[in-house]
Amino acid sequence: MGFLKERLRIPLYYFRYLRSFLYDLERFVKHSNVEYKRFENTDKLVAKIISLYHVIEKGLALEEPRLRFGKSRIEMLIRCITIYTSQIDKNNWDTQVHSALSVLDEYLKFNHSHGVPLPDLEQFLFSHRSILSEEISKGGTQAVNFESLSLTDDPSFDAVVLARSSIRDFGGETVAMSDVYRAVRLAQKSPSTCNRQSARILMTAERNIIDELLFLQKGSNGFGTKISSLLIVCSDLNCYQGDGDRVSGVIDGSLFGMTLIYALTRLKIATIPLNWSKDHSEDKKLRRLINVPDSYSVLFFIGLGSFKNHFKVPQSNKNDLSDIVADIKLCDD
């Protein structure tokens, strides 16, 4: 009897956990911005506009942006803005739509400054010229002087948070591993589910390994060669138990990773988080490329480098507080 129970243990776990994972899957497919539902409501439309304009912001923040880059994204962004403005009164436009127009305006000016005409985009923006003149229209890039970041020997938390941006124009100096270890030690103060401490860091400063990993990740075109060290933030599934922990590793690892990024910024190390929300085939490629323990869930990469004295970063305009903060209310019976 004991032997049979042991043989059935794993299938029973699969069956028990399946309902919870299917619940997550159903909610994700229902509410996420999947292709066939892209424009069903304005919230999803604004989310799509943000994701598209930020891609353009990131390209403009490179040291040497490529002319006419992101053509298909530009066309899709124009399409999304057109749909949005046909549905919403001008006086009620989301600030993110204003930001998108500002990004397109900077993109147009960048190409014009290099003698590249973009008549379709110019005509589109001309029809929104009055909006672009408003103070609310903030988007594109901003020039930063390293000294203005206020990263003194003992900076305030506010200074560290305000100094942090995703950097795509690194300096040429290498990062001291002693400082990276110091930042990891600080990140260990991050909270974790029942003190599970599942966060794990894989790191390398080997150029060939960094290049192969970035090629697989596909999110660092135009600046990957300037990343001097690379961290991979993981969460060890060995630390968890039961279907109630199915997302605990992502939460704990993300809390750890954000604290780590702030700690690195505090130590004057420039960072760029790089998403690893890949499908199963890409995750398997990563595991064939480097030695990732099987129990580790890979969450994201962090590229490291030095700060330049002068550089550009995306403005990444943030939502209004009223859009993200709401009072808790009991459901009606």
Residue type (1 letter), 189: K
Cα Rg of the chain (Å, integer): 23
Q: Is residue 116 one of the residues assigned to a domain? A: yes
Q: Is residue 12 one of the residues assigned to a domain? A: no
Domain check: are 121 and 161 in the same one? no
Tell the residue number behind the tokens 């599970």, with chain if given.
196
Instruction: State residue 12's pLDDT score.
Output: 72
Domain check: are 123 and 149 in the same one? no
Query: Is residue 69 a contact partner of residue 59, using CB atoms and an 8 Å limit?
Result: yes
Instruction: State residue 243's pLDDT score.
Output: 81
- In angstroms, how far is the first alpha carbon of the chain from the final one? 48
Which residues are 296's β-sheet partners? 236
CB atoms within 10 A of CB 51: 14
What is the tally of structural domains in the chain?
2
pLDDT average per 10 residues of sequence, the chain (333 residues):
61 77 83 63 86 93 94 94 88 88 94 96 89 69 90 91 95 95 97 92 97 97 96 94 88 97 97 95 96 95 97 90 92 80
Q: Alpha-carbon distance 105 to 139, whole Å?
A: 9
Query: Is residue 192 a contact partner of residue 198, using CB atoms and an 8 Å limit?
Result: yes
Residue type (1 letter), 285: K
Q: Is residue 324 one of the residues assigned to a domain? A: no
Domain check: are 193 and 149 in the same one? yes
Q: Residue 103 in 3-state DSSP?
A: helix
What sections of the chain are H helices per DSSP? 2-31, 42-60, 71-87, 95-113, 119-126, 129-132, 157-163, 177-187, 207-217, 248-266, 280-289, 321-324
What does the pLDDT look like over 71-120, one tens digit per residue?
A: 999 999 999 999 998 888 888 888 899 999 999 999 999 999 999 999 99
Beta strand pairing status for 296-305 and 310-314? unpaired
Q: Alpha-carbon distance 310 to 143, whole Å?
A: 7
Query: Is residue 232 a contact partner of residue 301, using CB atoms and an 8 Å limit?
Result: yes
Q: Is residue 122 one of the residues assigned to a domain? A: yes
What is the extent of the structural domain holding 88? Answer: 35-139
Domain check: are 274 and 149 in the same one? yes
Domain check: are 219 and 283 in the same one? yes
Structure tokens at 50: 């943000």
Domain check: are 178 and 278 in the same one? yes
Domain check: are 290 and 204 in the same one? yes
Q: Is residue 327 one of the residues assigned to a domain? A: no
Domain check: are 257 and 162 in the same one? yes
Domain check: are 55 and 151 in the same one? no
What does the pLDDT look like over 40-51, one tens digit per residue?
A: 678 888 888 999
Closest CA to 196 of 235, 247, 244, 231: 235
Q: Is residue 149 one of the residues assigned to a domain? A: yes
Q: Is residue 106 one of the residues assigned to a domain? A: yes
Domain check: are 195 and 69 in the same one? no
Phi/psi zone of residue 3: left (φ > 0), alpha (ψ -120 to 50 degrees), beta? alpha
CB atoms within 10 A of CB 231: 24
